[in-house]
Structure 1
Amino acid sequence: MDLTTLKNLIASETGVAVYFSAPNCGVCHALRPKIEELFSEKFPSVKFVHVQIDKSPGISGEYSVFSAPTLLVFFEGKEFLRKVRLMSIQELQGTIARPYKMLF
């Protein structure tokens, strides 16, 4: 995915989650399936996008993502949530649930 495509997706979709990972990051690889499952089960209307920092440095730079894992959640084109490194699935679910119910 390129920067223009991602920007268009964020602008056109009500909800977008962007998960940034790095190739040699064990936490990234362990956390990704759990976060993907959370969005597919609890927040199915939010589009989930995975970005590898090493393959898309332009996207990482544009969104000021310099460490992995990082999760950005956008609602109606605006950044709603930014989680870097340590993130709890339960905490994510609690934080996202209220705006999700209001928008969908």
Structure 2
Amino acid sequence: MKNLKNLNEVNEVISTVPAVLIYFSGENCSVCTALKPKIEEQVKSHLPKIEIYEVKADFYKEIASNFSVFSIPTILVFFDSKEFKREGRNISVLNFIEELRRPYNLFME
């Protein structure tokens, strides 16, 4: 995952990349640490055209508050510069991937 460190970077990525996943995490969040490699692996193997980025919400509070992220982990998925999906806290990785499959196929193929 590539790290984003300011709001301009985030907005540029969202506006220029057709499919973006932004993973909001925290430095001392054990759930974030455990979930991150699972999300990354599943997205790369099932939805390879989605670019994955990470924002450390505890360090970059301006970015988190701009996207109304108040708990971690939170995942935002954007297709064509529009927020399509938002998941937080208790995330089933397989359900998450399955819910993205149809819109992914519509936008990316």
TM-score under structure 1 length normalisation: 0.96
**What stretches of structure 2 of length at least 5 have no aligned partner?**
none
Number of equivalenced pairs = 104
Counterpart among 78, 81, 91 of residue 85 in structure 2? 81
Counterpart among 39, 53, 59 of residue 35 in structure 1? 39
> After the TM superposition, which residues 1-104 of structure 1 pair with which residues of structure 2 at under 5 Å, given as runs?
1-104=5-108
**What stretches of structure 1 of length at least 5 have no aligned partner?**
none
Percent identity reads: 38
Name the CA distance, whole Å, in 2 between partners of 1:39 and 1:7: 21
Provide, for residues 43-99 of structure 1, a one-character-per-residue CA deviation record: whole Å limited to 9, x for no partner: 111110011011111110100001100000001111100001001011111110001
Name the SS of the counterpart of 2:78 in structure 1. strand
Structure 1 segments (4+ residues) deviating >6 Å: none
Name the SS of the counterpart of 1:45 in structure 2. coil
User: Offset at 1:24?
Assistant: 1.6
